[in-house]
């Protein structure tokens, strides 16, 4: 054994091979260097997010522990009340009704959007180039339209007196005379139209992302599946879906977050009515803060919503990472 002196002055032995040559000591794993580089690359985005979001979120946290109402805007008196805002929210049956309604909306939006998105993305891989370009241009135009404009167009389409959809359905005699039918005065119909608007507006992002993911699947896998006698369903189940799982996982998380935070379509179409039966957590928080002038309660509802979304995202990603579906 050969003895060398390390950087601290302590003797260190190095093993020799049978020919008497000194073997090099163990090297540091290169993964540590890769981790440092990854952190350095992510650091600018993290710093910008902290600079933009740190104060608003901090102010929101402080506000949720205060009794802050319209009177406090003029007097500046907003005493701390501990967790009473959270206790009031969590003990309110209406809050849990809104949570359940939000879950129903999110599940419907994500399920329909992911199904339609995958179908349209698969269609893009099979049509001719000019049809693909035409469909992608239409998707991008829908995606680029501001949500307020899209909601106003949707409102005009289903307007009771001169809405285009009412006229078309009346002419088709599908559901009888709908010339003066008010869709948004019925909670189920109004919520269905809100869900349809959210899906229509968010579908382009899902379709284009899935289309890009489909293009990254090696063709050799499909050829091997064909040689093994796999049909379309088996190829979809054992080749396409497993290869797309990381992308699907990220899309699900993003769409859940965006669906929960959808405020504009609900507010423009129904303002949470009638009688609050179409409100979700985002609208419920806004109404509590700016209509009821209970800003502390509104802040508490917002933070509870953030906590629920963060818990869902962490649990979903951890489960996928445990199953080896995401890196």
Report the share of the chain in percent with pLDDT over 90.
39
For residue 22, list its beta bridge partners.
Answer: 16
Question: Residue 276 has what pLDDT?
Answer: 85
The DSSP bridge pattern shows strands 2-5 and 11-14 to be antiparallel
Question: What whole-number distance in Å separates Cα of residue 189 and Cα of residue 269?
Answer: 12
**Mean per-residue pLDDT over the chain, rounded:** 84
In this structure, the number of other CB atoms found within 10 A of the CB of residue 241 comes to 12
254-268 residue pLDDT tens: 999 999 999 999 999
Average pLDDT, integer, range 43-70: 87
Question: Per-residue pLDDT for 36 more than 80?
Answer: yes
Give the model's pLDDT for residue 4. Answer: 47
What pLDDT score was predicted for residue 326? 53
Q: Give the model confidence (pLDDT) of 193-252 as tens digits.
A: 999 999 999 999 999 999 999 888 888 888 888 887 888 888 888 888 888 888 888 899
Residue-level pLDDT at 30: 57
The pLDDT of residue 324: 61
CATH topology of domain 92-322: MetI-like fold (1.10.3720)
pLDDT digits (tens, 9 = 90+) for 270-313: 988 888 899 999 999 999 888 888 888 999 999 999 999 999 88
3-class secondary structure, 180: coil
Q: How many CB atoms lie within 10 A of CB 302?
A: 22
Model confidence pLDDT, tens digit, residues 118-173: 999 999 988 888 999 999 999 999 999 999 999 999 989 988 888 888 888 888 77
Residue 26 confidence (pLDDT):
54
Predicted local distance difference test score (pLDDT) of residue 221: 84
Q: How confident is the model at residue 130, as a pLDDT?
A: 93
Work out the percent of the chain whose per-residue pLDDT is above 70: 88
Q: State residue 301's pLDDT score.
A: 93
What is the rounded distance in angstroms from the CA atom of residue 213 to the CA atom of residue 251? 11
In which band, very low, low, confident or very high, does the pLDDT at 5 lie, cut at 50, 70 and 90?
very low
- Mean pLDDT for 29-51 is 80
Q: Indicate the pLDDT class of residue 109, thresholds 50, 70 and 90.
A: very high
b/e per residue, 251-281, with b = 16+ CB within 10 A?
A: bbbbbbbbbbebbbbbbbbbbbbeebbbbbb
């Amino acid at each position: 054994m050969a003895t060398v002196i390390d950087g601290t002055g302590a003797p260190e032995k190095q093993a020799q091979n049978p020919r008497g040559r000194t073997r090099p000591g163990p090297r540091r794993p290169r993964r540590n260097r890769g981790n440092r580089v990854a952190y350095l690359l992510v650091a600018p985005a993290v710093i910008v997010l902290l600079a933009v979001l740190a104060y608003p979120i901090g102010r929101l946290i402080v506000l949720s522990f205060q009794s802050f109402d319209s009177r406090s805007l003029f007097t500046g008196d907003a005493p701390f009340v501990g967790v009473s805002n959270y206790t009031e929210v969590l003990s309110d049956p209406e809050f849990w009704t809104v949570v359940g309604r939000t879950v129903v909306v999110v599940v419907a939006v994500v399920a329909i959007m992911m199904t339609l998105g995958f179908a349209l993305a698969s269609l893009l891989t099979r049509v001719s180039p000019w049809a693909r370009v035409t469909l992608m241009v239409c998707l991008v135009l829908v995606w680029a339209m501001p949500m307020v404009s899209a909601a106003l167009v949707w409102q005009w389409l289903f307007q009771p007196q001169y809405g285009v959809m009412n006229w078309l359905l009346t002419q088709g005699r599908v559901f009888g005379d709908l010339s003066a039918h008010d869709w948004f005065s019925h909670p189920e119909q109004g919520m269905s139209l809100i869900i349809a608007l959210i899906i229509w507006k968010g579908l382009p992002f899902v379709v284009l992302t899935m289309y890009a993911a489909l293009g990254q699947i090696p063709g050799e896998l499909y050829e091997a599946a064909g040689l093994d006698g796999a049909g379309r369903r088996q190829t979809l189940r054992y080749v396409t879906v497993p290869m797309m799982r990381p992308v699907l996982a990220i899309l699900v998380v993003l769409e859940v977050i965006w669906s929960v935070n959808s405020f504009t379509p609900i507010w423009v179409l129904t303002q949470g009515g009638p009688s609050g039966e179409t409100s979700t957590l985002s609208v419920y928080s806004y109404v509590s803060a700016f209509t009821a002038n209970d800003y502390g309660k509104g802040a508490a509802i917002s933070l509870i919503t953030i906590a629920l979304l963060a818990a869902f995202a962490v649990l979903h990603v951890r489960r996928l990472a445990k199953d080896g579906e995401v890196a």
